[in-house]
Amino acid sequence: MNTGNVMDLDREILERLKESKSLENEKACFGNCLDSIGWWIVEKIPANLHELKQLIAKNSNGFGAYFTKNRVSLEPIRQALLESSTTKRVEKFSCSDDLHGFVYPLTIRDKISGFIGTLYTRKDIDTSIINIFSSFTDTVVMEVEKEYELAKLHETVRPRAIALSTVHTVHRLISSTLDLNELLPRIARLSLQIIRANRCSIKLVDSTRKVLLPKTTVDLREKKTRLKKVRIGRWAPGKSVKLSKPVRGERYLAVPLIDEDVIGVITIYDKIDRKPFTAYDEEIMTTLAEQAVIAIKNAQLYKEQEKLTLGGIKSLAAVLDAHRPIRHTPKLSLHKITLLIGQKLSMDEHELRCLEYAAVLHDAGQLVVPEEVLRKPTKLTGQEYELVKEHPERSVKIIKPIRTLKAVIPIILHHHENYNGSGYPKGLKGEQIPLGARIMAVVDAFEAMITKRPYRKPMDIDDAIEEIRKNSGTQFDPKVVTVFLQIIKKHDIRSMLEKEIDDAR
Amino acid sequence: MTLADVARSKIHYKILSFFHENQASLDSPKGIATWIREERTPVKKALEDLVKMEILVAHRSSSMTGYSYTTDQKLIKQIQRLLEKKR
């Protein structure tokens, strides 16, 4: 088998040699020196003279037709071929008074794979010319051989390099998100793209380690997809998890997601070209699953960390609530309004999360304002008001050690800035004020107006809305006010707000 | 832009040929520019043109965009005919 392949390779190189420009140049160059009118190349030493005649005629670019018509014994050529295959040197021959020539073996990959010959040369050819000829021929053969190897290398390496680049791109794409809800469909879609299949489903092992929970299914053929639980050990995904190795059939390929233990499985169904899944698909999917499991673990850890952060924020908010003179605010409605404004103003997921945290923590600095000041039923003195005005900076001091809340700081610090620059602590104006802070400013002011204070009764909701509208462009960002007015007008929001206020009274 | 226009533009044609020959490939503009030996900026623009024509699919993330070939078999057959004609 191997010998056959090697022979095929040598034959391919020989064919390339026949077509090569360098050989053409060599023929032209030595043709002049040797007065030769005919060149021929044969792969092997023919078994008989008839075959030799045919071969030379066939491989000598036309002049052989003339040559075959003449009754000349070709035995000297056959002898020269035999001798040169042993000596590996140029061997001359003379078939008649006017038919002289020589043959030289073509050594490909250290093995004689053919012969080049001349006809109708001068009888006495200078040895130095023959030496140059043999060196030149060896160089041409070597050059063709190298070209061939390079072409083969390109043919073999390029698809692998492209596949490697694909894996690298997939890795970058799946590592760029820490949100599991975004990550899993992305992994599924990328798997379908690179395997060229129709359906991909990702299932994760549940906490009891008995069942696989469906997390995402992408089907290029159907818009609707079914999410089904699978018992570990059943069907291709279940078997793959149980055995901790890929399970491949003609129309499916299940690859386990293995961390320290199996955490889930990616299953692909139905190749677009309807061909069966191959070992190559399995290899690619195994590599992709290795990348995917890292991304999934990172996303899960991030989610855990977020839960911890949120827990810390909630504790801090509880402490803050206990300290505040106004305990009964419609928190849920106001949080919802805040987030809806953020969404309407095209904030991304991260910005919305920061806004949510800021909504809980923006008044954390009031913890360090004396309680008698916060609960004072009469108007504050100048000194007391200055103390209250410091609360955004004090809030920042409290949350600064929590690194994950870094992006929340600008919202908290500037939520008392006014759009016209008359606010505090920095006197920022317009777009200088972070968007989150401009949103907080509106909602915070609205909250202050509709809740009871030690020194005044709560304002009616419609009056508070009117007050916000009146201060649009001066105290508040008009864009934020417009969105706020649209949201507060909504029936469900208004009802939720009124119910919460009623419940608090 | 039509398929005929794609065949007339050198870069669009090279990208099309690359993805047709390597249908399982998914790569960044930089990677594709390397494979077809062209500058990254025009390649990036051509990739977006091909996305608009639904010949390529863009996988966008916050840090990068990866491009892959369509899975629409009808379109792939049309492209096959175009490439054969061009050769």
| Environment class of A240 (CB within 10 Å of its CB; exposed 0-12, middle 13-18, buried 19+) | buried
* pLDDT at site A309: 80
Tokens 């863009």 sit at which residue?
Answer: B58
Q: Which residues of B touch A154 (CB under 8 A)?
A: none
Taking 70 as the pLDDT cut, the residues of chain B under it are: none
In terms of CATH, what superfamily is A324-504? Hypothetical protein af1432 (1.10.3210.10)
Q: Which residue of B71, B75, B80 is the best one to mutate when testing the A interface, meaning the one whose CB has the most A CBs within 10 A?
A: B71
The answer to whether the CB atoms of B31 and A165 lie below 8 A apart is yes
Residue ranges covered by each domain of chain A? 2-151, 180-298, 324-504
CATH fold of A180-298 reads Beta-Lactamase (3.30.450)
Q: Which CATH class is domain A2-151?
A: alpha beta
* Cβ contact A40:A116 at 8 Å: yes
0.85 surpassed by complex ipTM: yes
Structure tokens at A411: 């919202």
What sign does the CA torsion over A406, A411, A414, A419 have? positive
Please state, in angstroms and rounded to a whole number, the distance separating the CA atoms of residues B20 and B83.
9
**Total residue length of chain B:** 87
- Domains of chain B as residue ranges with CATH: 3-86 (1.10.10.10)
CB pair distance less than 8 Å for B26 and A194: yes
Q: What is the pLDDT of residues A155-188, one digit of tens each?
A: 889 888 998 899 899 999 998 888 888 899 999 9
Q: How far apart are CA A202 and CA A251, in angstroms?
A: 16
Residue A276, token pair as written in the block: 């069966």
Return the structure tokens found at B30. Answer: 């930089």
A194 chain-B contacts, CB cut-off 8 A: 24-26, 68
Same fold, A2-151 and A324-504: no
The per-residue pLDDT string of chain A (505 residues; one tens digit each, 9 = 90 and over) reads: 333 455 677 888 888 888 889 888 888 888 777 776 778 888 888 888 888 887 777 776 666 655 566 667 788 998 999 999 999 999 998 888 877 889 999 988 888 889 998 887 887 888 888 889 899 999 999 999 999 989 988 888 988 899 889 989 999 999 888 888 889 999 999 999 989 999 999 999 998 888 999 999 998 887 666 778 899 999 999 999 999 999 999 999 999 999 888 999 999 999 988 999 999 899 999 999 999 999 999 999 988 888 888 788 878 778 777 766 555 678 888 889 999 999 999 998 889 989 988 888 887 777 777 777 777 777 778 888 787 778 888 888 888 888 778 899 999 999 999 999 999 899 999 999 999 999 999 999 998 898 877 777 888 899 999 999 999 999 999 999 999 999 999 988 898 888 888 876 6
> Cβ A162–B27 below 8 Å, yes or no?
yes
What is the largest distance, in Å, between two alpha-carbon atoms of chain A? 135
Backbone angles phi, psi at A154, to 5 degrees: -60, -45
Asked if B27 and A169 come within 8 Å (Cβ–Cβ), the reply is yes
pTM over cut 0.90: no
Number of other residues whose CB lies within 10 A of the CB of residue A20: 17
Amino acid at site B34: T
